[in-house]
A = this chain, B = another copy of it.
Amino acid sequence: MELREMGKAAAAVKYDLACMSEERKNRALCAAAEGLERDLDRILSANEKDVADGEAKGMHPGLVDRLRLTPERVRAMAEGLRQVSALPDPVGEVLESFIRPNGLKIEKRRVPIGVAGIIYESRPNVTADAFALCFKAGNACILKGGSDALASNQAIAESIRTSLEDCGIDPDAVQLVTDTDRAVTEQLMRMNEYVDVLIPRGGAGLIRAVVEHSTVPVIETGTGNCHIYVDKYADLAKAVPILINAKTQRIGVCNACESLVIHEAVRERFLPALAQALQEKNVELRGDERARETVPDMNAAAEADFETEYLDYILSIKTVDTLDEAIRHINRCSTGHSDAIITEDTERAERFLNEVDSACVYVNASTRFTDGFEFGFGAEIGISTQKLHARGPMGLKELTSYKYVIRGNGQIRP
Protein backbone atom coordinates (compact mmCIF):
# COMPACT_ATOMS: atom_id res chain seq x y z
CA MET A 1 0.00 0.00 0.00
CA GLU A 2 1.16 3.51 -0.71
CA LEU A 3 2.41 5.27 2.44
CA ARG A 4 -0.20 8.03 2.46
CA GLU A 5 -2.90 5.37 2.23
CA MET A 6 -1.32 3.61 5.20
CA GLY A 7 -1.33 6.89 7.11
CA LYS A 8 -4.96 7.47 6.28
CA ALA A 9 -5.86 3.93 7.35
CA ALA A 10 -3.99 4.32 10.64
CA ALA A 11 -5.62 7.67 11.33
CA ALA A 12 -9.03 6.11 10.62
CA VAL A 13 -8.56 3.16 12.98
CA LYS A 14 -7.20 5.27 15.84
CA TYR A 15 -10.67 6.38 16.96
CA ASP A 16 -11.76 2.78 17.51
CA LEU A 17 -8.54 1.94 19.31
CA ALA A 18 -8.89 4.96 21.59
CA CYS A 19 -12.27 3.72 22.83
CA MET A 20 -11.49 -0.02 22.87
CA SER A 21 -12.02 -1.79 26.18
CA GLU A 22 -9.04 -3.13 28.07
CA GLU A 23 -10.49 -6.63 27.94
CA ARG A 24 -10.80 -6.57 24.17
CA LYS A 25 -7.24 -5.28 23.74
CA ASN A 26 -5.94 -8.00 26.07
CA ARG A 27 -7.79 -10.73 24.21
CA ALA A 28 -6.29 -9.49 20.96
CA LEU A 29 -2.77 -9.45 22.42
CA CYS A 30 -3.14 -13.03 23.64
CA ALA A 31 -4.55 -14.07 20.27
CA ALA A 32 -1.56 -12.44 18.57
CA ALA A 33 0.76 -14.37 20.91
CA GLU A 34 -0.91 -17.66 19.98
CA GLY A 35 -0.76 -16.62 16.33
CA LEU A 36 3.01 -16.14 16.45
CA GLU A 37 3.43 -19.61 17.93
CA ARG A 38 1.08 -21.09 15.33
CA ASP A 39 2.98 -19.32 12.52
CA LEU A 40 6.37 -20.32 13.95
CA ASP A 41 7.52 -22.25 10.87
CA ARG A 42 6.50 -19.54 8.45
CA ILE A 43 8.29 -16.88 10.53
CA LEU A 44 11.44 -18.98 10.85
CA SER A 45 11.62 -19.72 7.13
CA ALA A 46 11.16 -16.02 6.29
CA ASN A 47 13.92 -15.28 8.76
CA GLU A 48 16.20 -17.90 7.16
CA LYS A 49 15.93 -15.96 3.94
CA ASP A 50 16.93 -12.70 5.66
CA VAL A 51 19.84 -14.41 7.41
CA ALA A 52 21.03 -16.06 4.18
CA ASP A 53 20.85 -12.72 2.34
CA GLY A 54 22.72 -11.02 5.19
CA GLU A 55 25.48 -13.63 5.23
CA ALA A 56 25.76 -13.50 1.43
CA LYS A 57 26.23 -9.73 1.70
CA GLY A 58 28.98 -10.26 4.29
CA MET A 59 26.96 -8.88 7.24
CA HIS A 60 28.92 -8.63 10.52
CA PRO A 61 28.38 -11.80 12.62
CA GLY A 62 27.08 -9.68 15.52
CA LEU A 63 24.39 -8.25 13.29
CA VAL A 64 23.54 -11.66 11.89
CA ASP A 65 23.04 -12.83 15.45
CA ARG A 66 20.67 -9.93 16.16
CA LEU A 67 18.76 -10.74 13.01
CA ARG A 68 18.46 -14.48 13.57
CA LEU A 69 15.27 -15.93 15.02
CA THR A 70 15.05 -19.29 16.74
CA PRO A 71 11.99 -21.12 18.06
CA GLU A 72 12.95 -19.82 21.51
CA ARG A 73 13.17 -16.23 20.29
CA VAL A 74 9.77 -16.42 18.59
CA ARG A 75 8.28 -17.93 21.74
CA ALA A 76 9.86 -15.09 23.74
CA MET A 77 8.16 -12.61 21.41
CA ALA A 78 4.83 -14.31 22.03
CA GLU A 79 5.50 -14.28 25.75
CA GLY A 80 6.23 -10.54 25.46
CA LEU A 81 2.77 -9.98 23.99
CA ARG A 82 1.18 -11.87 26.88
CA GLN A 83 3.18 -9.83 29.39
CA VAL A 84 1.93 -6.59 27.85
CA SER A 85 -1.63 -7.91 28.01
CA ALA A 86 -1.17 -8.35 31.76
CA LEU A 87 -0.08 -4.74 32.30
CA PRO A 88 -2.68 -2.21 33.48
CA ASP A 89 -4.31 -0.18 30.70
CA PRO A 90 -3.16 3.44 31.04
CA VAL A 91 -6.00 4.86 28.90
CA GLY A 92 -8.83 6.68 30.67
CA GLU A 93 -6.94 7.36 33.90
CA VAL A 94 -8.07 10.66 35.43
CA LEU A 95 -4.87 12.59 36.06
CA GLU A 96 -6.48 15.60 37.71
CA SER A 97 -9.94 16.97 38.20
CA PHE A 98 -11.09 20.30 39.55
CA ILE A 99 -14.13 22.58 39.63
CA ARG A 100 -13.77 26.23 38.65
CA PRO A 101 -15.57 29.04 40.51
CA ASN A 102 -17.99 29.33 37.56
CA GLY A 103 -19.02 25.70 38.04
CA LEU A 104 -17.11 24.20 35.09
CA LYS A 105 -15.91 20.70 35.96
CA ILE A 106 -12.54 20.09 34.33
CA GLU A 107 -11.04 16.63 34.08
CA LYS A 108 -7.58 15.88 32.71
CA ARG A 109 -7.83 12.41 31.27
CA ARG A 110 -5.19 10.10 29.83
CA VAL A 111 -5.81 9.23 26.15
CA PRO A 112 -3.75 7.52 23.46
CA ILE A 113 -1.39 9.63 21.35
CA GLY A 114 -3.06 8.38 18.16
CA VAL A 115 -0.71 7.12 15.46
CA ALA A 116 2.89 6.24 16.29
CA GLY A 117 5.57 5.69 13.67
CA ILE A 118 8.38 3.39 14.83
CA ILE A 119 11.58 3.33 12.80
CA TYR A 120 14.01 0.60 13.81
CA GLU A 121 16.93 -1.52 12.73
CA SER A 122 17.85 -5.16 12.50
CA ARG A 123 16.10 -6.97 15.33
CA PRO A 124 12.80 -8.42 14.10
CA ASN A 125 11.39 -8.85 17.61
CA VAL A 126 10.85 -5.07 17.71
CA THR A 127 7.98 -5.64 15.26
CA ALA A 128 6.03 -7.58 17.87
CA ASP A 129 7.19 -5.52 20.88
CA ALA A 130 6.41 -2.14 19.37
CA PHE A 131 3.01 -3.31 18.17
CA ALA A 132 2.13 -4.65 21.62
CA LEU A 133 3.02 -1.47 23.49
CA CYS A 134 1.40 0.87 20.97
CA PHE A 135 -1.74 -1.26 20.82
CA LYS A 136 -2.16 -1.64 24.57
CA ALA A 137 -1.84 2.15 24.93
CA GLY A 138 -4.58 2.55 22.31
CA ASN A 139 -2.38 3.70 19.45
CA ALA A 140 -2.26 2.60 15.84
CA CYS A 141 1.29 2.07 14.64
CA ILE A 142 3.17 2.23 11.38
CA LEU A 143 6.35 0.19 11.60
CA LYS A 144 9.42 0.71 9.45
CA GLY A 145 12.01 -1.95 10.20
CA GLY A 146 15.43 -2.43 8.70
CA SER A 147 15.58 -3.72 5.15
CA ASP A 148 17.82 -6.57 6.34
CA ALA A 149 14.92 -7.98 8.32
CA LEU A 150 12.16 -7.32 5.81
CA ALA A 151 10.98 -10.89 5.22
CA SER A 152 11.00 -11.64 8.97
CA ASN A 153 9.13 -8.44 9.79
CA GLN A 154 6.57 -9.14 7.09
CA ALA A 155 5.92 -12.63 8.42
CA ILE A 156 5.53 -11.32 11.98
CA ALA A 157 3.32 -8.39 10.99
CA GLU A 158 1.14 -10.59 8.80
CA SER A 159 0.71 -13.05 11.64
CA ILE A 160 -0.37 -10.28 14.03
CA ARG A 161 -2.71 -8.71 11.48
CA THR A 162 -4.42 -12.05 10.91
CA SER A 163 -4.90 -12.50 14.65
CA LEU A 164 -6.41 -9.01 14.94
CA GLU A 165 -8.82 -9.76 12.13
CA ASP A 166 -9.79 -13.02 13.82
CA CYS A 167 -10.72 -10.89 16.85
CA GLY A 168 -12.84 -8.58 14.71
CA ILE A 169 -10.32 -5.75 14.97
CA ASP A 170 -9.23 -3.68 11.98
CA PRO A 171 -5.76 -5.06 11.13
CA ASP A 172 -4.60 -1.58 10.13
CA ALA A 173 -3.96 -1.04 13.82
CA VAL A 174 -0.50 -2.32 12.83
CA GLN A 175 0.99 -1.71 9.41
CA LEU A 176 4.47 -2.48 8.14
CA VAL A 177 6.18 -0.29 5.54
CA THR A 178 7.69 -2.71 3.05
CA ASP A 179 9.08 -0.21 0.57
CA THR A 180 12.77 0.01 1.46
CA ASP A 181 13.35 3.19 -0.54
CA ARG A 182 14.85 5.84 1.73
CA ALA A 183 12.50 8.43 0.22
CA VAL A 184 9.56 6.51 1.68
CA THR A 185 11.08 6.64 5.15
CA GLU A 186 11.57 10.38 4.74
CA GLN A 187 7.96 10.72 3.67
CA LEU A 188 6.92 8.95 6.87
CA MET A 189 8.91 11.52 8.84
CA ARG A 190 6.93 14.36 7.30
CA MET A 191 3.45 12.90 7.34
CA ASN A 192 2.19 15.25 10.08
CA GLU A 193 -1.36 14.93 8.83
CA TYR A 194 -1.58 11.30 9.92
CA VAL A 195 1.30 10.55 12.29
CA ASP A 196 1.37 12.01 15.81
CA VAL A 197 4.78 10.84 17.00
CA LEU A 198 7.88 9.14 15.66
CA ILE A 199 10.06 6.94 17.83
CA PRO A 200 13.36 5.86 16.31
CA ARG A 201 14.92 2.76 17.85
CA GLY A 202 18.47 2.03 16.88
CA GLY A 203 21.94 3.44 16.65
CA ALA A 204 23.03 7.06 16.89
CA GLY A 205 23.06 7.46 13.10
CA LEU A 206 19.45 6.39 12.71
CA ILE A 207 18.31 8.67 15.52
CA ARG A 208 20.22 11.65 14.13
CA ALA A 209 18.66 11.11 10.70
CA VAL A 210 15.15 11.00 12.15
CA VAL A 211 15.68 14.15 14.22
CA GLU A 212 17.20 15.88 11.21
CA HIS A 213 14.48 15.05 8.70
CA SER A 214 11.27 14.88 10.72
CA THR A 215 8.57 17.46 10.94
CA VAL A 216 6.47 14.97 12.94
CA PRO A 217 7.32 15.27 16.67
CA VAL A 218 10.10 12.82 17.58
CA ILE A 219 11.02 11.17 20.84
CA GLU A 220 14.77 10.80 20.76
CA THR A 221 15.97 7.60 22.36
CA GLY A 222 19.04 5.83 23.13
CA THR A 223 22.49 7.30 23.03
CA GLY A 224 24.15 7.03 26.39
CA ASN A 225 27.57 8.35 27.29
CA CYS A 226 27.11 7.37 30.94
CA HIS A 227 29.48 8.37 33.75
CA ILE A 228 30.29 7.02 37.16
CA TYR A 229 31.92 9.52 39.48
CA VAL A 230 33.87 8.02 42.37
CA ASP A 231 33.89 10.72 45.00
CA LYS A 232 36.41 11.55 47.69
CA TYR A 233 34.04 10.00 50.23
CA ALA A 234 33.22 6.90 48.20
CA ASP A 235 33.05 3.50 49.79
CA LEU A 236 35.59 1.93 47.43
CA ALA A 237 34.34 -1.55 48.25
CA LYS A 238 31.04 -0.53 46.62
CA ALA A 239 32.69 1.36 43.76
CA VAL A 240 34.60 -1.56 42.20
CA PRO A 241 31.65 -3.95 41.72
CA ILE A 242 29.41 -1.09 40.52
CA LEU A 243 31.96 -0.11 37.87
CA ILE A 244 32.54 -3.69 36.78
CA ASN A 245 28.80 -4.18 36.49
CA ALA A 246 28.08 -0.91 34.69
CA LYS A 247 30.95 -1.42 32.25
CA THR A 248 30.90 -5.14 31.52
CA GLN A 249 27.57 -6.74 32.44
CA ARG A 250 26.39 -5.96 28.91
CA ILE A 251 28.54 -4.01 26.50
CA GLY A 252 26.47 -2.74 23.61
CA VAL A 253 23.67 -1.08 25.56
CA CYS A 254 22.93 2.59 26.14
CA ASN A 255 22.98 2.41 29.94
CA ALA A 256 26.48 0.88 30.11
CA CYS A 257 29.15 3.06 31.73
CA GLU A 258 31.56 4.64 29.28
CA SER A 259 33.58 6.92 31.54
CA LEU A 260 34.93 6.94 35.08
CA VAL A 261 35.39 10.29 36.78
CA ILE A 262 37.68 9.93 39.76
CA HIS A 263 38.33 12.32 42.63
CA GLU A 264 42.03 13.08 43.07
CA ALA A 265 41.90 12.13 46.75
CA VAL A 266 41.04 8.48 46.03
CA ARG A 267 42.91 8.08 42.75
CA GLU A 268 45.92 6.27 44.23
CA ARG A 269 43.82 4.00 46.42
CA PHE A 270 41.14 3.16 43.86
CA LEU A 271 42.61 2.94 40.38
CA PRO A 272 45.03 0.00 40.81
CA ALA A 273 42.31 -2.27 42.21
CA LEU A 274 39.86 -1.17 39.52
CA ALA A 275 42.41 -1.55 36.73
CA GLN A 276 43.17 -5.09 37.80
CA ALA A 277 39.51 -6.06 38.00
CA LEU A 278 38.72 -4.51 34.60
CA GLN A 279 41.77 -6.03 32.94
CA GLU A 280 40.48 -9.43 33.98
CA LYS A 281 37.38 -8.56 31.96
CA ASN A 282 39.55 -7.43 29.03
CA VAL A 283 38.51 -3.80 29.33
CA GLU A 284 40.89 -1.29 27.78
CA LEU A 285 41.43 1.78 29.96
CA ARG A 286 42.05 5.23 28.46
CA GLY A 287 43.08 7.69 31.12
CA ASP A 288 44.13 11.29 31.52
CA GLU A 289 47.64 12.14 32.68
CA ARG A 290 47.06 11.66 36.38
CA ALA A 291 45.26 8.36 35.93
CA ARG A 292 48.27 7.14 33.94
CA GLU A 293 50.62 8.20 36.73
CA THR A 294 48.82 5.70 38.96
CA VAL A 295 48.43 2.95 36.35
CA PRO A 296 51.28 3.46 33.90
CA ASP A 297 50.31 0.77 31.38
CA MET A 298 47.01 2.53 30.71
CA ASN A 299 46.47 4.12 27.27
CA ALA A 300 46.15 7.88 26.98
CA ALA A 301 42.69 9.40 26.56
CA ALA A 302 42.22 12.05 23.88
CA GLU A 303 39.63 14.78 24.49
CA ALA A 304 37.33 13.00 22.03
CA ASP A 305 37.34 9.92 24.27
CA PHE A 306 35.32 11.78 26.87
CA GLU A 307 32.58 12.42 24.35
CA THR A 308 32.45 8.87 22.98
CA GLU A 309 29.82 6.22 23.60
CA TYR A 310 32.11 3.23 23.00
CA LEU A 311 29.57 0.41 23.32
CA ASP A 312 32.71 -1.67 23.68
CA TYR A 313 35.25 -3.00 26.20
CA ILE A 314 36.78 0.45 26.69
CA LEU A 315 36.52 2.88 29.63
CA SER A 316 37.78 6.47 29.70
CA ILE A 317 39.08 7.90 32.98
CA LYS A 318 39.07 11.56 34.00
CA THR A 319 40.59 12.88 37.23
CA VAL A 320 39.00 15.85 39.03
CA ASP A 321 39.91 17.87 42.10
CA THR A 322 36.43 18.78 43.27
CA LEU A 323 32.82 17.68 43.14
CA ASP A 324 32.06 20.87 41.17
CA GLU A 325 34.58 19.93 38.53
CA ALA A 326 33.05 16.44 38.29
CA ILE A 327 29.55 17.87 37.82
CA ARG A 328 30.73 20.35 35.20
CA HIS A 329 32.65 17.65 33.30
CA ILE A 330 29.65 15.32 33.30
CA ASN A 331 27.20 18.03 32.24
CA ARG A 332 29.54 18.87 29.39
CA CYS A 333 30.23 15.35 28.12
CA SER A 334 27.16 13.33 29.09
CA THR A 335 24.38 12.65 26.60
CA GLY A 336 21.93 13.18 29.46
CA HIS A 337 21.08 9.51 29.80
CA SER A 338 22.36 8.08 33.13
CA ASP A 339 25.12 9.23 35.46
CA ALA A 340 26.07 8.07 38.95
CA ILE A 341 28.00 9.23 41.99
CA ILE A 342 29.60 6.82 44.43
CA THR A 343 29.82 8.54 47.81
CA GLU A 344 28.90 8.06 51.46
CA ASP A 345 28.44 11.82 51.93
CA THR A 346 24.74 12.64 51.73
CA GLU A 347 25.19 16.33 51.06
CA ARG A 348 27.52 15.71 48.16
CA ALA A 349 25.19 13.03 46.81
CA GLU A 350 22.28 15.48 46.86
CA ARG A 351 24.31 18.12 45.05
CA PHE A 352 25.17 15.61 42.33
CA LEU A 353 21.54 14.46 42.03
CA ASN A 354 20.32 18.06 41.80
CA GLU A 355 22.95 19.47 39.52
CA VAL A 356 23.68 16.75 37.00
CA ASP A 357 21.19 17.35 34.21
CA SER A 358 20.51 13.78 33.06
CA ALA A 359 17.37 11.70 32.73
CA CYS A 360 18.52 9.30 35.47
CA VAL A 361 20.91 10.28 38.24
CA TYR A 362 22.14 7.66 40.67
CA VAL A 363 23.88 7.47 43.98
CA ASN A 364 25.69 4.23 44.83
CA ALA A 365 24.17 2.06 42.12
CA SER A 366 24.97 0.84 38.61
CA THR A 367 23.73 2.89 35.65
CA ARG A 368 22.55 -0.41 34.13
CA PHE A 369 19.27 -0.03 36.05
CA THR A 370 17.97 2.60 33.60
CA ASP A 371 15.46 0.28 32.01
CA GLY A 372 11.68 0.05 31.88
CA PHE A 373 11.65 -3.43 33.41
CA GLU A 374 14.11 -2.57 36.17
CA PHE A 375 11.99 0.51 36.98
CA GLY A 376 8.94 -1.73 37.25
CA PHE A 377 7.11 -0.38 34.22
CA GLY A 378 6.69 -3.94 32.92
CA ALA A 379 7.68 -2.87 29.42
CA GLU A 380 9.87 -0.46 27.52
CA ILE A 381 9.56 1.20 24.13
CA GLY A 382 12.89 3.00 24.56
CA ILE A 383 14.82 5.38 26.80
CA SER A 384 14.28 9.05 26.07
CA THR A 385 17.26 11.38 26.24
CA GLN A 386 15.26 14.49 25.42
CA LYS A 387 13.29 16.58 27.85
CA LEU A 388 9.94 16.99 26.16
CA HIS A 389 7.09 14.57 26.82
CA ALA A 390 9.07 11.72 28.30
CA ARG A 391 12.49 11.37 29.86
CA GLY A 392 14.29 8.17 30.79
CA PRO A 393 12.65 4.74 30.39
CA MET A 394 9.36 4.88 28.49
CA GLY A 395 6.64 2.35 29.16
CA LEU A 396 2.93 2.35 28.34
CA LYS A 397 2.14 5.66 30.04
CA GLU A 398 4.74 7.42 27.94
CA LEU A 399 2.83 6.28 24.84
CA THR A 400 -0.18 8.32 25.93
CA SER A 401 -1.24 11.96 25.85
CA TYR A 402 -4.16 13.58 27.67
CA LYS A 403 -7.21 15.63 26.93
CA TYR A 404 -9.28 18.04 28.99
CA VAL A 405 -12.92 17.09 29.40
CA ILE A 406 -15.01 20.08 30.52
CA ARG A 407 -18.60 19.75 31.72
CA GLY A 408 -20.78 22.84 32.03
CA ASN A 409 -24.41 23.83 32.24
CA GLY A 410 -24.48 26.80 29.93
CA GLN A 411 -21.36 28.75 31.02
CA ILE A 412 -20.21 31.58 28.76
CA ARG A 413 -17.10 33.69 29.13
CA PRO A 414 -17.80 37.17 30.51
- B359 to A404, Cβ gap below 8 A? yes
Query: Does any Cβ of B come within 8 Å of A31's Cβ?
Result: no
Query: Does any Cβ of B come within 8 Å of A238's Cβ?
Result: yes
Query: Does any Cβ of B come within 8 Å of A320's Cβ?
Result: no
**Which residue of the partner chain, among B14, B368, B409, contacts A364 with CB atoms under 8 Å?**
B409
Q: How many copies does the complex hold?
A: 2
**Which residue of the partner chain, among B19, B354, B401, B404, contacts A355 with CB atoms under 8 Å?**
B19
- List A residues 221-260 near B (Cβ within 8 Å): 235, 238, 241-242, 244-246, 249
Query: Does any Cβ of B come within 8 Å of A388's Cβ?
Result: yes
Chain B residues contacting A100 (CB-CB under 8 Å) are: 374-376
Known A219-B388, A365-B411, A413-B245; judge A353-B405 contact (CB<8 A).
yes
- B403 to A363, Cβ gap below 8 A? no
- Stretch of A48-56, A66-74, A209-217, A269-277 on the interface side: A209-217
Bitwise, A168-205 to B at CB < 8 A (1) or not (0) is 00000000000000000000000010001100000000
Query: Does any Cβ of B come within 8 Å of A134's Cβ?
Result: no
Query: Does any Cβ of B come within 8 Å of A283's Cβ?
Result: no
- B406 to A369, Cβ gap below 8 A? yes
Chain B residues contacting A386 (CB-CB under 8 Å) are: 196, 217
By beta carbon, the residue of chain B nearest A346 is: B407
By beta carbon, the residue of chain B nearest A16 is: B355
- A392 to B404, Cβ gap below 8 A? yes
**Which residue of the partner chain, among B355, B364, B406, contacts A408 with CB atoms under 8 Å?**
B364
Chain B residues contacting A196 (CB-CB under 8 Å) are: 386-388
- List A residues 58-79 near B (Cβ within 8 Å): none
- A217 to B388, Cβ gap below 8 A? yes
9 residue pairs bridging A and B, Cβ less than 8 Å apart: A18-B354, A98-B376, A219-B388, A364-B409, A369-B406, A374-B413, A375-B404, A387-B401, A389-B389
Interface residues of A (CB under 8 A from B): 14-15, 18-19, 98, 100, 104, 106, 111, 113-114, 192, 196-197, 211-212, 215, 217-219, 235, 238, 241-242, 244-246, 249, 331, 349, 353-355, 357-366, 368-370, 374-376, 386-389, 391-392, 401-413
Given A111-B357, A364-B408, A369-B413, 12 more A-B residue pairs with CB atoms under 8 Å apart are: A192-B211, A197-B387, A217-B386, A217-B387, A358-B403, A360-B403, A360-B404, A363-B406, A365-B412, A369-B411, A374-B413, A389-B389
